[in-house]
Homo-oligomer: A and B are copies of this chain.
Amino acid sequence: MRLSRYFIPTIKETPSEAQIVSHRLMLRAGLIRQSAAGIYTWLPLGLKVLKKIENIVREEQNRAGAHELLMPTIQSADLWQESGRYDDYGKEMLRIEDRHGRELLYGPTNEELITDIFRREVRSYRDLPLNLYHIQWKFRDEIRPRFGVMRGREFLMKDNYSFDLTAEEGVHSYNAMFVAYLRTFARLGLRAIPMKADTGPIGGDLSHEFIVLAETGESEVFFDKGFDAFEIPGEDVFDGDLQPIVDQWTSLYAATDEMHDVENPGVDMKNIQTGRGIEVGHIFFFGDKYSKPMGASVQGPEGDIVDVQMGSYGIGVSRLIGGIIEASHDDNGIIWPESVAPFKVGLMNLNVKNDECVETCDRLYKEFTAAGVEILYDDRKEGAGAKFADMDLIGLPWQVALGPRGLKSGMVELKNRATGEREEVAIDDIVARLS
């Protein structure tokens, strides 16, 4: 992509409305713009990152055997009245009346809707297990939206719902999501630790939060040093027994501020380190909490009618962008992990008035593109300083700079954004080097 024809409105100044670093950098790097309180437009660069995160989440869901569908954003209030949560949910739920005076709402979560689909379509234990997910915009009318996409009102979430005949099978589905989440966050370049969690308004008694470690994280967390040694499960584990993996990852102490208990017997506090964390996922197993009142049952193998065992599992997809930036940035800007970077390479022509620079950069741009490398080509009429600053700000993993001096020696300067290391690479080698 040629930057001269693209739309990345970067900002030099620090936006005064942004209190945390991810919010500041998302505004400055031209990823988002606020259109109303807690409601954002995703500009091209931000949307590219969002789609990459979404795709990694999707791949890991599919690998774990979940099927994607898409529920609407607008739901009828009827189902929520049936489950009893319509009144419970309070003012965070955006309530709407249509032209005929029917009560609707903008879904903050989908337990009711998915349970309704299930009970209308599934009759037999032979159709189980079933795990359905969607990646959809949701709305929670936060009283005081803040921190950019970390606590917005309209946000993108992956949520899924598992249906099983027995509690034992339900726990297996829970474990599959537990493992899928470990893999997902690792692929996003994040260090995430599952922590025992309060089940809150969702209900049930088995639940974990996945907390990403970041120096600028929103809350204090406590966890055993032993987590360092745990390996992320491979992609081929889902056909086997997942309990040993879950047992390992839940064998050590890990707690958020709210759940932390220094009096906890059996915890050796000298192994515990403190840090700051950001919640990016939450999984629940809640048995028949929704299936029983809503009549989501199947015929079992003996002909008996059984309320299904359910779990629900959420990842804050748009929130993750904030989480990744909190975990990976420096004073100059964002440092994208390669798996979610909007482009892999940023190519800078340091002197657009020099015809030979233009020709060589144009040629490199074509060659990178032909090689399938995602490249952003800064061909703007700007000074070298502004180009370096913008490139650091938007945080592409690799920077390639070419100016008249390099041209003379036949070399480009290659910079690794994460480490800051620079080296000279022959112009004719640079495409192969980064392909």
Contacts and interface: CB of A to CB of B under 8 A. Distances in A.
Contacts of A143: 99
Interface in A64-85: 65, 67-76
Contact of A72 (B7, B40, B69, B70): B40
Tallying the copies of this chain within the complex gives: 2
Interface in A85-108: 91-92, 94, 96, 98-99, 102, 104, 106
Contacts of A113: 35, 41
Contacts of A70: 41-42, 47, 50
Nearest to A36: B76
Given A68-B47, A69-B42, A96-B94, A74 B36 contact: yes
A5 interface: yes
B141 A98 contact: yes
A73 B76 contact: no
A132 interface: yes
Contacts of A132: 7, 44
Contacts of A44: 67-69, 132
A18 to B, nearest CB: 16
A43 B5 CA distance: 38
A428 to B, nearest CB: 27
A67 to B, nearest CB: 5
A195 to B, nearest CB: 30
Contacts of A74: 36, 39, 94, 106, 139, 153-154
Nearest to A98: B141
A135 to B, nearest CB: 10
A153 B104 CA distance: 12
Given A36-B75, A104-B36, A9 B94 contact: no
B33 A120 contact: yes
Interface residues on A, range: 35 or more
The CB with the most chain B CB atoms within 10 A, among A36, A46, A50, A113, is that of A36
Nearest to A71: B41
A6 B129 CA distance: 10
Interface in A311-333: none
A33 B117 contact: yes
B130 A7 contact: yes
A413 interface: no
A116 interface: yes
Interface of A: 5-7, 9, 33, 35-37, 39-44, 46-47, 50, 65, 67-76, 91-92, 94, 96, 98-99, 102, 104, 106, 113, 116-117, 120-122, 126-127, 130, 132, 137, 139, 141, 143, 153-154, 381
The list of the 9 closest CB pairs from A to B, nearest first, reads A36-B76, A42-B70, A9-B121, A91-B99, A39-B72, A41-B71, A44-B67, A72-B154, A99-B141
